[in-house]
Structures are given as C-alpha cells and as structure tokens.
Structure 1
C-alpha cells in the first residue's frame, strides 16, 4: 500500500463504523511514519486496527503522556512503525487485511477491494515464478473482469483509476501466460487491451509492463525491429524516466532486441547502460509485483542471452552462472530457463557432454510441473544445435532418447 492507499483504507474503515467517510490525508500518514504524530485520533486508531488486524500499540504508537513504550511490547515501537509503514510503501501489504467472505464485505467499493484484487495478482505472479505462466490466462482475465465490474460501481476517481490499473495488470498477466506457453496469437490482443486500460488508469508503470511484454512477444515472433521499438517505448514511460530499476529493464530488453537484429555494438552498449542504471537502483525498496523478478539475477540472465546471440558463448556461460547464483529459490521457472541457456552456451563452445548434462537439469528443476511452451522451444533450439554440432549422430540420438519421456510427460 502507498501512503495514499493507507489513508483511503483508514477513511473507508471510519466510514463503515461512523457512517461518514474519514478525512485522513497522505500528510497524516507521513506524520505517523516519521513519528511526528505518535498517537492518532480515536477514530483513526480504531480504523488502523481494522485495516491492519493489529492492536494500535503493536503498530508502535505511544499514548500521550507516555515517555516510553508499553513494557508489554517486545520491541521499540519505532521498529514496529518502520516495519509496518515500510510495507505500506510498496504493493506487498495486501495480506495485512483479512479477506472476508463476499457476504461480509461492505457493499460500497473502496480501497479494500483494490487491496483484495491486488492480492490475487500477487498470487498469480507467485504461481508463475514456481511453475510458469501457462494456465493462468483464465484466472487473470476473470480478475480483470471483476476489477472492471467494480470500477463501474466505485464512487471516487482514485479508486476508479486503481481498478483500471488492476484490470490492466490482470490483462497483461493473461498475455504473459500465452507468451510463456508459446501461444502467441492471442497475446497481442491482450496487450492492446492492457495498454488501453493502463491509459484509462493514467498509470505509467502499467504501461511500461505492457511495453516490456510487447518487446518479449515481438522477439518470440522474430520481429526484432518491433522488439527494439517496444523496449524503447518502455524506456519513454514516466516511471522509467524516474526509476533506475525500470530504466535498467528497458535498456536490457533493447539490448536483447538489438543482439537478435545483428547490431552487436549497440546491443553491448545498451547492456552497459542497463548495468549502470541497476547500480543506481535501491533494491531494498518495495516495488510493484510485476517487476519483482528484475534485479541482478535477471540482468545476468539477459546478458547471457545477448552474449550468446552475438557470438560470445564463454561470456554467456559466465553470465548464466552468475544468474543462477543470484536467483532466489522461489523462481523455479527462471532457474530452469537460465539452466537451459547455460547448456546452449556450453554447447556453442563445443563442450557437448557438459552441455547435455546441464540440459538434463532442466527436467529435474521442473519436476512435477509441465514445461512452459517457451522452455520447450528453447530445448528444441538446444536439440537442433546439438544435432548440428555433435561429433557423432549417436550423441544427439542418445540425448533425445534419454529425455523423450520427460519431454512428453511435461
């Protein structure tokens, strides 16, 4: 939650138990955050307890007249306040609000609906990190439909815009599901819709998400000029102009498109820009769910792609190893994809046996989950290059026979 969202949630809660919406402002929230106001008004205290599900003292607030925290609290209240408000600065605090059954929810649309839907987006993203985006399209489109349905009932412009942004996020997630599954036909339509919704939301971050996916889709279609143009459109968004993290991702996508276009010098130049921008980003700050995947590990992974495509497989192998070392354990699909890329880099150096062993790890990593279509295509590239480079046809046939069962089971 941002400060504005917390203020809205508090005001909505006040409205529920008083019949009149509260007037808490962003400035008030920042005063709580800084400790300037250590004891909110009674209505605000009650609303904060409703919103967070925690006692007011557990949030770090101190009653007037007290010079130190309640001895029952195990930690300094400032620690609690920093922890709580640190969560509100990003988009990961949805779990702080208990999700009630539909029948128990207030009939009026408000911030509580925004948070509930955002939690659904986060669950889809977590599922994608574990097993890939394939199979998420229907759930994502259902979320978009609900957000748009609520948008028609909402009473404030701010909530309307947030619901449009969520609809864009859900629709972009549906597009990603098709891209990851290798089903590219419908992805473009979803992205067109997601970009329209981002415009209605006046949300540059959602627009950048769409352009980022558009660059990926164009690369999958081998439309490399469009991939570069989409990445540059991502860089032109307002969020990329003010956020080094977003700037870095846009530059990295541009580098991938340029590498596939055959412009080695420009591709490596944009890689350097991506690295420089990422070095300026504060990776400890909360961020939107859709870009949570991006950081040093993902940049190393994209570097491996660029280096391999421009004919530098040794550098690609080194970048893949760095990516695997930095990847969080929860990113199973990304780990499998980077492992497949590592195998390709080894193969392109003529290390056939090592490449075959490495590629086999992909099936181990993804055991229990189907291989996404995009990963299948990458393994297909490996098989074709193996047939072309193997010193004997026997090695390629042995690899195919060994993994045919896993491939078909996936």
Structure 2
C-alpha cells in the first residue's frame, strides 16, 4: 500500500513520465511473482491480482498522460484481465474509467462512452456515490467531444448531485481519495465546455477548479491552467490568455507531453486570432526560450 501511495503521489507531481510507467509495471510484476509461488488462499490470491491490476492501471494512466497510446492499450488489456481475476469492482472501475479517457484522447468518443458505461454500471457506483459522480463527470467530458450540450448539462448535474451525497468518511481506495473531489469535477466540466466552445462557462469552471485544487496536484494545476488560457483566448482576451499560459512553470511546459501539446495548440490558435500582435511575438519568444532551455 505504501508503494502504491508513493506512486500515486509521484503521478500527481510529475505525471506522464516513462519512469512512472516503468516503476508501476515493475511493481505489478512483483505482485504477480508472489501470486505465482502458489499455496495462497483464494482471498490472498484475489488481493494479489487486485494489487497487480492497480499497478498496471497506474502504468496505463502514465502512458495515457504521456500520450504513449499504444503502450496504454497494452496495459489496458493486461489490467482488465487481472482485475477480472481479482473480483475487485473498485479496481475494475478505475481501469474501465481509464480506458474511457484513453479513447477520449484518441478522439474516439463512441468507444469512450462505451468504456465509461462499463465503469458506470459496476456495482460499486450504486454502493458509493463518489464512484457514480466520477463516472458521470467523465461522461460529460466525452459528450463535450460529440457536441451534445444537453447531455453535458444533464450528466454534470448528476455528477454534482452524487458528489454532494457522498459520505466524506467512507473508506475508499487511495487512488480515488488522491484526486477526485469538487476540483476534479470542475476540471472535467471545464474540459466539456471547452470542447463545446462555451468559453465563458469553461473559464468559470477553470477558476473554481484552480481555487479548490489541493497543493500536491501539480500536474492537474498545469493542465487546468492551460485549458483556462484556451478559454480566455476563445473569448478574444489575448493578453490575459498569454499571461495565463506563461504562468505555467517552464519545466512542466516542456516536460509534460499533454501540457506541451496543449500549449502548442494554444500557439496555433493565438496566431490565428492575432497574427500581427506584439503579444503573439512575446508568446513565440517565450515558447522558443522554454524549448531551448530544455535542450
């Protein structure tokens, strides 16, 4: 449990790194090696499979976060098998929920909705509203890609209602406690509204998420800030958008694949919106210097 907690903490601080992926995969191997020794009771075997599935799902998430999608698909295939053998619905939820994120990032909303429906239909979502809330919130982000504003509003309302019902004292897996709360719900609402082009609403969700984020959520803060910059730019607020984008620490800008891609797209949209502006030149210089300093 301590190794898993440390892995989760590392993910929230750095995110998407191959080192995190490799460490998680190695720890999954350790759990399976213990399982292979034999002689354990059914309960212990189930716990070891659940442990291996948990570490494999962390490797999967690191690969998704690092935009290494072929590797993520490989980990998903392995993790889903391990989770099925474990009989643990909580880890099954995590893996299928991660699969929905994988397909969302791949631009495959139909597959993302189907995967997330597997997660949302597991018994754990009926037992604990926190799981139900996360399932609804991730559905909203997917519906945003499809342009279905009505569905986004509906499932976000369901997500909020479920989160409000969730007992904060309920015992939950460490991975869920580590990241899902009102700030993450706001972040997923931000993603959904940004996809819909509802830039004013997206900005409001971004500010609420940033105000509520726990201090250790460095990766999420950078991603949310990058989305805020896009929301501001979408409203024509070029100067605030650039200031927001430049507030992201340079090491995160250049080393986290998702943030790098989001800010690269920000630069493209900035050039389309204000090609002759001195502010655009300022951004170009900042981005160039950041990449050069990384090298």
TM-score for the superposition, normalised by structure 2: 0.94
> Which is bigger in relative contact order (C-alpha 8 A, separation at least 6)?
2
The residue aligned with 1:278 is: 163
Partner of 1:147: 31
Q: Are the counterparts in 1 of residues 16 and 257 from structure 2 also a CA contact under 8 Å? A: no
Tell me the CA shift for residue 404 of structure 1. Answer: 1.9
Q: Post-superposition shift, 1:232?
A: 1.3
- Answer 1 or 2: which has greater helix percent: 2
> Which residue is equivalent to 2:110?
225
Is structure 2 residue 180 aligned with structure 1 residue 289? no
Counterpart among 305, 308, 332 of residue 194 in structure 2: 308
* 1:258–1:267 Cα contact (<8 Å) kept: yes
Structure whose CA Rg is larger: 1
4+ long deviations beyond 3 Å: 407-410
* Residue in structure 1 matched with residue 14 of structure 2 by the alignment: 131
- CA offsets, 1:328-350, max 9 Å, x none? 10111111111111111111110
| C-alpha separation in 2, matches of 1:408 and 1:207 | 42
What secondary structure sits across from 2:70 in the alignment?
A: coil
Contact 2:254 2:260 in 1 (8 A): no
SS at match of 2:16: coil
Cα deviation for residue 391 of structure 1 reads 5.8
- Whether 1:348 aligns to 2:234 is yes
- Deviation of residue 247 (structure 1)? 0.4
Instruction: Give per-residue Cα distances to partners, 1:276-332, cap 9 Å, x unaligned.
Output: 111111224342122120010000111111112212111111111110111010111
Partners of 1:179 and 1:374 within 8 A in 2: no
State whether residues 241 and 247 of structure 1, in contact with CA within 8 Å, keep that contact through their aligned partners in structure 2: yes
Distance 1:383 1:298 in 2: 26
Question: Where does the alignment leave 5 or more consecutive residues of structure 1 unmatched?
Answer: 1-117
Shift of 1:406: 1.9
For 1:271 and 1:407, how far apart are their aligned partners in 2?
37
The alignment partner of 2:69 has SS state of: coil
Inter-CA distance 287–399: structure 2 relative to 1 (3 Å threshold): same
Asked whether the equivalents of residues 283 and 295 of structure 1 are also in contact (C-alpha less than 8 Å), the reply is: no
Q: Who is 1:395 aligned against?
A: 279
Q: Which residue of 2 aligns with 1:23?
A: none
- Equivalent of residue 325 in structure 1, options 199, 202, 211: 211
* Residues 409, 151 of structure 1: alpha-carbon distance in 2 compared, 3 angstrom cutoff: farther
Measured on the aligned residues, the alpha-carbon RMSD in Å equals 1.6
Q: Measure how far apart 1:396 and its partner are.
A: 2.5
Cα-to-partner distance string for 1:175-207 (whole Å, 9 max, x where unaligned): 111111111111011011101000000011111
